[in-house]
Structure 1
Amino acid sequence: MVPNEIPQSLGLVRLMQHFKWTWIGLIASDDDSGEKFVQTLKPMLTRNSICVAFTERAPHVPSSSMDYAFREQHFKLYSSITQTKAEVIVVYGDTDSLLGLKLFLYASYQTALTPIGKVWITTSQWDFTSNIALNRWTLKPFHGALSFAVHTNEVPGFRDFLGTLNPYQPQGDIFIQQFWHTVFNCLVLYSSLTIKGGRNCSGKEELESLPGSDFEMKMSGQSYSIYNGVYAVAHALHALYSSKSKKEATGKEHLLELQNIQPWELHPFLKNVRFNNSAGDEVYFDENGESSAGYDILNWIVFPNESFVRVKVGHVDPWAPVGQEFTINEAAIIWNSRFNQTVPRSMCTDSCRPGYVRTVREGEPLCCYNCAPCPEGTISNQTDADHCDRCPEDQYPNRDQDKCIPKFMNFLSYEEPLGFVLASFALLFSLLTALVLGMFIKHRDTPIVRANNWELSYVLLLSLLLCFLCSLVFIGQPGGVTCLLRQTAFGVIFSVSVSSVLAKTITVVLAFKATKPGASMRKWLGRRLASSIIVSCSLIQVGICAVWLGTAPSFPDLDMKSEAGHILVQCNEGSNTAFYYVLGYMGFLAIVSFMVAFLARKLPDTFNEAKFITFSMLVFCSVWVSFIPTYLSTKGKYMVAVEIFSILASSTGLLGCIFIPKCYIIVLRPDLNTREQIVMKSKSGTQEL
């Protein structure tokens, strides 16, 4: 009824995994069973990323305690234990084969040698308490140890049965007599045991009064297995004699048949046995004939008075549902005093904290590694990470590179200083343009307004007002509508403005030529000429924008790669070629206006608006020539800010150069805003020409 050792090995691995012990020592008895255990356990440990710091053999105790080779082997073993960083040591072997190790550890504990404060993990083959004479002084080094033991349970009536035992009943039981003689230090009458000056055993000594190091009032794992084995055989025999293949017989015939039963006859019935024992445990065998019993995990607690207790802190049940095969009560474990009741750490290298990745040390086990920071743009959110991961596109690593955090949406908003200042200037110049327009409307009958084609002035002022206002469309989070309106509205409105300036310039030139006697230019003068210039030039820009919107319209776009930690919310122009066609056409109109105005700069003073148009076009062209390289070298909201600044600067240049001089005369020099003054300047200008 002894269970298979494979579940014990699996339980050892699960125990290491639970406490994250990845660097352990391994000591096995120096025999075939120890070699088999090592060869079975090591591959399991390797598959689960647990490394063995050292593997040593525990030699058997020689006949002479002064055996030199024995002492040398144990000193070598002692060096391996004390010099390793492994805090956990697994020990495999039976009681006899590990007696030397037990004695040597106690000797190191009692002498000047450094006491070994480790987490000892022993297997079910090693019974600490089998040698009563040694228990009281050899268990100290094993305080806090964990041991695997064949599963046992409280059998009803067993403690009462132990209470009835005495060395005289039943007579002839030499095992009880020897035990009584050893633990109570008394002489059993009528036995062959002797003791100098000893007292006689009364038979009333109580086993319950013995310390735990001498005797425990509960069934051990081995005894529990024997108990279940006896009952399993009894159930198999009952099934055998209850089968239909057996004839009914008298009790005497039963006895004769029982003596003649062969093992092979009982085996099929024993294999199918399944019952609950008196402790409530189910007993059965699997298809391989293995016992259903698992393993208990015991914690050894040794007190200063050399007494001890074994506390069950876990269980290994290979037949339990998936995920429940291994259980451990971590809070119930008492560790070696060296660890101050904190869970021991047994690792070759300290854990790599989140934000770092493990890098293998050349020529060393995988459990020995260096910790390197994650590469830029990646994170690790767990300890001892084997690799770093990139964040999703809408997130970026925090400073410690141990988690991803959402990126900030980056666009030119009204709340930030730059957006607020640009919006304020746009509104300020819009208000100023509206005031100039109102002033021209109020003084529309004065000579200076009428002499400069007041209708074109109104159109130009209205278009400039819209230019200032259209810059507000560029501020705020881009959306589908705003992306469609931004460049197209800007292109069309600016084309109207520049077309108005061109119409003004051409009108000035034609008006001067029409004043010469016999001039044929008079028929070209009038509202239709100016309107035709504005409409035709503007329609070309409207056509360009219509083609742009029809083929590759602008749309909101998220640029997640240009700036770390930010998502650039911007308008994708759809077609950069169309955008530069819009700018190019405006530039063409501005250059034509500049050339015409430059040629007409020396016309009579009455028509000297050409000089101001020349300056305004010079400002306009300078702004937009500077705009292109600056625009291409920026990203995100700063690209938008550059375009808004160019719109405001060029519009302000037109407003200031063309209309401020006239406003100066209207407001501050009304004496110059008379017909006589205009006629006088006109005559003087004509004479100069």
Structure 2
Amino acid sequence: MGDPQYPLLSKDGDIIIGALFPVHSIEILPSFEFTQKPQLLTCSSVYLRDFRLAQIMIFAIEEINRSESLLPNVSIGYRIYDTCGSRLSTMSATMGLMNGQEFVPGHRCNGQSPLHAIIGESESSATVILSRTTGPFKIPVISHSATCECLSNRKYYPSLFRTMASDYHQSRALAYIVKNLGWYWLGAVNSDNEYGNYGMAIFLKIAQKEGICVEYSKVVDTIKKSTAKVIVAFVSLPEMGLLVDQLSIQNITGLQMIGVKSWITVKSLITPNSFHVLGGSLGFAVRKIDIAGFAGYVIKEFWKTAFPCTQTKGNYSQYALSCSRYEELLLLKNYNEDVPEQRYASYVYKAVYAVAHSLHSLLKCKEQEGCEKGLTIQPQQLVEALKIVNFTIKTGDHVWFDSTGGAVAQYEVVNWQQDSDGSIKFISVGYYDASLPPDQRFVLNTENIIWAGGQVEKPRSVCSESCPPGTRKAAQNGRPVCCYDCIPCAEGEISNETDSNNCMRCPMEYWSNAEKNECVSKTVEFLSFTEVLVGLTAIVAILFYSKKDTPIVKANNSELSFLLLFSLTLCFLCSLTFIGRPTEWSCMLRHTAFGITFVLCISCVLGKTIVVLMAFKATVPGSNVMKWFGPSQQRLSVLAFTLIQVLICVLWLIISPPFPHKNMKYLKENIILECSLGSTIGFWAVLGYIGLLAVLCFILAFLARTLPDNFNEAKFITFSMLIFCTVWITFIPAYISSPGKFTVAVEIFAILASSFSLLFCIFAPKCYVILFNPEQNTKQNMMGKTTSKSC
């Protein structure tokens, strides 16, 4: 066994509290040649912060020893070991604390720990070593700054307590500050130890829930190439110093650093070049609490009463102490300018008082009677007492431990700012207090912040710019959700918010505007213009009426001619029913009027065709055929053919009549207001009946086309029926394939074209004779054997 490690500072008492602090930061290893017993480790380079923690512990103990209300008549001693920031020294110091200096080879251990509690360690990794070593002996450990969330596991660390909150809360607070400032694209770096790895893992998990994306979690080369302008640095102090050095060497500046309590208020990071990297940094620091009397104590009382090399008598000589090991500490004898900035001192102060209050209850202390010193305090008893301890220190802070052995999270948000004289100050710009209601926990005064690079405007850090209204976000393959493309909404869809994930489809009667950010009413379309030939028909009728006694008008039944002109007038007029906004009445009227008037028209033409045929047959000697198709029979045939169509239309209107319909399918951006046919069978029955009569008329006229008689209209009728049938045959595919108002236009065109063909081909030759060749409008000429001119 090697020589036991001696404490840096110590004092005897009825109760002993141990402590581990990295008072020095550099460890000097002895030679390991294995030819002689290894020498003790030596340390150098004072770490001022933890030296102050050792001082505040002694200050608190002496304050308690003077108290008449807390542990009256009981003295507290201490054993403070220097771990030199080394895991090797931490283990060696822990064994020294547990064994004591009285333990020598050959002596049996009495099983009783020489101390009641241990304050320490400063770092999470060292606290893990300490807690796992002391855990089997149930010696309570109270850490003042080890904040790894891993230490909250009571299964593995049942005897560990912390006067500072777990990093779980700091990680949540980091996510809050990043989200609050609108930074959803950032880099992240962390120390490769318990503190950095666990803290960063919690932050990344919470950040992901909040929609924050991390571009990288590695270091300098990646930082240099990245697009993120904000870096969350969950890094312990030594690693942060190295990172700042590297960033300075590679001249990587202008990045907004978000820091943690381990480095955000450490002045040793301030160098001539570091402010270019860390200037404007934001981060969470532990609250600064001033302990009354401590500043004066570190200048006078400590060096007189607690420091070994200034004592004229005492027990330090039994450890063969060499004052050379304190040479660096003695240089700090008259220095206390850093004391007001000490943020961890109050947490050591709370830890000492937590032990004292727990012992006070276990020793059944009473203010006037004192404490029962004869009671043996087992470590487990002190552990249980610490679980329920509840008190308030003189600063007004309330101290208690939650179920994980941690304290309530209370942080101060600080900002690195440069004063007019060039000095660096840590300015408080907000706070995070987990003891408050959720909506009051986090406060940040952004108007007081100086950002990275000395800017007064908050830096932007995004992977992709915001998608404006009218677009939606589309994730980029293989990249975080904060990296996306802005895709315009499809026709008929809108997004009226920035960074919309989806586009919303407009209701049926609405359509998206050009910017795709608003639904507007669709344009309602219907046919609103036409061109009719009623006037021309009327002129022909007037002309025929004025020449009703002439042979050319009398020929071939003038009554049918006037009826045909009347039906053609109705055909032209019925096209008007297809014009304008469709209504229930106009939809029923347009198709039935069309069907009936056209049958009336074709019936007249059919009658005229039969008259031509009968007239030719009547010229045969002995023929009596005209008596079977005289004027009365002609009128009855027209009426019968028309009544059949009327019956079809009535059945159509009764069973399933046409009705107004909004067509929203064909043109998505417009509403086509049209007449639905109701029963398609009814529509095609009406149309089919007209076609049947037209085909019959065409066949009969075609048979009579060569009859050599000037009264013969068959050629004109044949040509008119040819045009008529051609129009309606082409109408069918055009009607089916045309949408909305174009369907109506096709139907009107067919009506006008077919009506005009009848008017022109049947009546134009006669009008020509009446107007331009009146000499031919005689009975002798009509009875001649000349050939009729075709249309």
CA distance in 2, matches of 1:341, 1:148: 21
Name the structure 1 match of 2:164.
Answer: 2
Matches of 1:538 and 1:46, distance apart in 2: 79
Q: Which residue pairs with 2:257 in the alignment?
A: 120
Aligned equivalent of 1:609, options 713, 718, 721 = 713
Q: 1:225-281: CA deviations, max 9, x gaps?
A: 78999999999999x99xxxx9xx98514x54899997578668656x8x99999x9
Cα deviation, 1:355-399, whole Å, max 9, x if unaligned, reads 4653544xx443586748569658684676666666655556666
Deviation at 1:470, TM superposition (A): 2.1
Which residue of 636, 639, 648 maps to 2:740? 636
Which of 215, 226, 234 matches 1:84?
A: 226
For residues 171 and 576 of structure 1, the distance between their equivalents in structure 2, rounded to whole angstroms, comes to: 110
- Hey, what's the Cα distance between the residues in 2 that align with 1:433 and 1:576? 32
Distance 1:646 1:556 in 2: 22
Match of 1:68 in 2: none
Q: Which amino acid aligns with 2:301?
A: G
**In the alignment, is the contact (CA less than 8 A) between 2:280 and 2:454 conserved in 1?**
no
Counterpart code for 1:172? E
User: Could you tell me which residue of structure 2 aligns to residue 172 of structure 1?
Assistant: 301
Kept in 1: contact 2:467–2:498 (CA 8 A): yes
Counterpart selection for 2:569 from 448, 453, 465: 465
Matched-pair contact (CA < 8 Å) for 2:354–2:386: no
Residue type of the partner of 2:416?
Answer: W
Is the alpha carbon distance of 1:460 and 1:137 closer, same or farther for their aligned partners in structure 2, counting shifts above 3 Å?
Answer: same
- Whole-angstrom distance in 2 between the partners of 1:343 and 1:624: 73
Please tell me whether the aligned partners of residues 88 and 346 of structure 1 are also in contact (alpha carbons under 8 angstroms): no
* Contact preservation (8 Å) 2:388, 2:401: no
What's the TM-score once normalised by structure 1's chain length?
A: 0.70
Could you tell which deviates more after superposition, 679-688 or 36-45?
A: 679-688
Label 1:640 to 1:126 Cα distance change in 2 as closer, same or farther (>3 A). same
- Partner residue in 2 for 1:61: none
**Secondary structure of 2:301's aligned partner:** coil
Percent sequence identity is 36
Q: Residues 472, 438 of structure 1: CA spacing in aligned structure 2 closer, same or farther, 3 A cutoff? A: same
TM-score normalised by length of structure 2: 0.62
Measured after TM superposition, the shift of residue 293 of structure 1 is 4.3
The match for 1:681 is 781
Provide, for residues 513-544 of structure 1, a one-character-per-residue CA deviation record: whole Å limited to 9, x for no partner: 45666543343344432222222212222333
Name the CA shift for 1:518/1:48 in 2 (closer, same or farther; >3 Å): same
Q: Does 1:40 align with 2:182?
A: no
1:274-353 aligned within 5 A: 291-303=407-419, 305-318=421-434, 326=442, 328-330=444-446, 332-337=448-453, 341-347=457-463
CA distance in 1 between partners of 2:357 and 2:558 (Å): 121
SS of 2:784's equivalent?
A: helix
How far residue 314 of structure 1 moved from its aligned partner, in angstroms, is 4.8
* CA distance 1:311–1:259, shift in 2 (3 Å): farther
Letter of the structure 1 residue corresponding to residue 781 of structure 2: K
CA distance in 2, matches of 1:582, 1:259: 120
Quote the residue 1:189 is aligned against: none
- Distance of aligned partners of 1:312 and 1:439 in 2 relative to their CA distance in 1, 3 Å threshold: farther
SS of the aligned residue for 2:368 comes to helix
**Structure-2 separation of matches of 1:479 and 1:99:** 83
Residue in structure 1 matching 2:193, options 31, 46, 57: 31
Helix, strand or coil: the match of 1:147? strand
The 1:359/1:139 distance shift into structure 2, 3 A limit, reads: closer
CA, structure 1 residues 657+227, in 2 after alignment: closer, same or farther (shift >3 Å)? farther
1:586-626 deviations in Å (ceiling 9; x for gaps): 12111211222333345575633333322221221121122
Q: Which residue of 2 aligns with 1:573?
A: 677
Corresponding residue for residue 628 of structure 2: 524
- Between Structure 1 and Structure 2, which shows a larger proportion of helix residues? 1
* Distance in structure 1 (CA, Å) of the matches to 2:733 and 2:255: 71
SS across alignment from 1:344: coil
Query: CA 1:446/1:117 → structure 2, altered by over 3 Å: closer, same or farther?
Result: same
Deviation track 1:20-76 (CA, whole Å, cap 9, x = no partner) reads 5444333223432222223333333445554444434xxxxxxxxxxxxxxxxxxxx
Q: 2:603 aligns to what? A: 499
Q: Could you tell me how far 1:649 is from its partner in structure 2?
A: 0.7
Q: 1:223 to 1:527 in 2, by over 3 A?
A: farther
Mapped partners of 2:456, 2:411: distance in 1: 28
2:757 is the alignment partner of 1:657: no
Give the distance between the partners of 1:573 and 1:584, measured in 2 at CA.
15
| Partners of 1:389 and 1:222 in 2: CA distance | 54
Residue 634 to residue 116, structure 1, CA distance change in 2 (3 Å): same
Match of 1:409 in 2: 523
Distance 2:673 2:342 in 1: 73
Amino acid at match of 1:125: S
String of CA shifts for 1:75-131, please: whole Å, max 9, x gaps.
xx43343233332221124445534445x26xx54x6x4242211111133342454
Cα pair 2:509 2:664 within 8 Å, conserved: yes
Residue 285 (structure 2) pairs with residue 149 (structure 1): yes
User: Residues 472 and 500 of structure 2 are in contact (CA less than 8 Å); yes or no, is this contact kept in structure 1?
Assistant: yes
Of 562-571 and 647-656, more deviation after overlay is shown by 562-571
Helix, strand or coil at the partner of 1:607: coil
Partner Cα separation in structure 1 for residue 393 and residue 758 of structure 2: 103
CA contact (8 A) 1:467 1:493 kept: yes
1: distance between equivalents of 2:343 and 2:771? 113
Question: Are 1:358 and 2:474 matched, yes or no?
Answer: yes
1:589-608 to structure 2, matched below 5 A, reads 589-601=693-705, 607-608=711-712
Matched to 1:571, the amino acid is C
Q: Any idea what the Cα deviations from partners look like across 1:378-425, whole Å, max 9, x if unmatched?
A: 86846766666666555566667x5465474363432xxxxx3xx1x2
Is the contact between residue 709 and residue 787 of structure 2 (CA under 8 Å) also seen in structure 1?
Answer: no
Cα distance, 1:499–1:30 mapped onto 2, change above 3 Å: same
Shift of 1:333: 3.7
Among candidates 582, 586, 591, match of residue 686 of structure 2:
582
Question: SS where residue 254 of structure 2 aligns?
Answer: coil
Q: Compute the RMSD of aligned alpha carbons.
A: 4.9
Q: Which moved more, 1:383-392 or 1:464-473?
A: 383-392
User: Which residue number in structure 2 is paired with residue 65 of structure 1?
Assistant: none
Which of 625, 641, 645 aligns to 1:541? It is 645
Q: Runs of 5+ in structure 2 lacking a partner? A: 1-162, 308-328
Matches of 1:295 and 1:126, distance apart in 2? 14
Cα distance between partner residues in 2 of 1:530 and 1:277: 125
Q: Give the conservation status (yes or no) of the 8 Å contact 1:297–1:315.
A: yes
SS at match of 1:548: helix
Contact 1:603 1:685 (8 Å CA) reproduced = no
Q: Distance in 1 between matches of 2:345 and 2:750?
A: 96
- CA distance, structure 2, for counterparts of residue 395 and residue 233 of structure 1: 73
Instruction: Give the residue type in structure 1 aligned to 2:579.
Output: I
Does the C-alpha gap of structure 1 residues 117 and 543 become closer, same or farther in structure 2, counting only changes over 3 Å?
Answer: same
1-structure distance, mates of 2:698, 2:416: 100
Assess if the C-alpha contact under 8 Å between 1:94 and 1:126 holds in 2.
yes
Q: Which amino acid counterpart does residue 487 of structure 1 have in structure 2?
A: H
* Alignment match, 2:140: none
Which residue type is aligned with residue 261 of structure 2?
S
Q: Aligned partner of 1:411: which letter?
A: E
Q: Which residue of structure 1 lines up, in the alignment, with residue 102 of structure 2?
A: none
User: Unmatched 5+ residue regions in structure 1?
Assistant: 57-76, 179-191, 202-206, 415-419
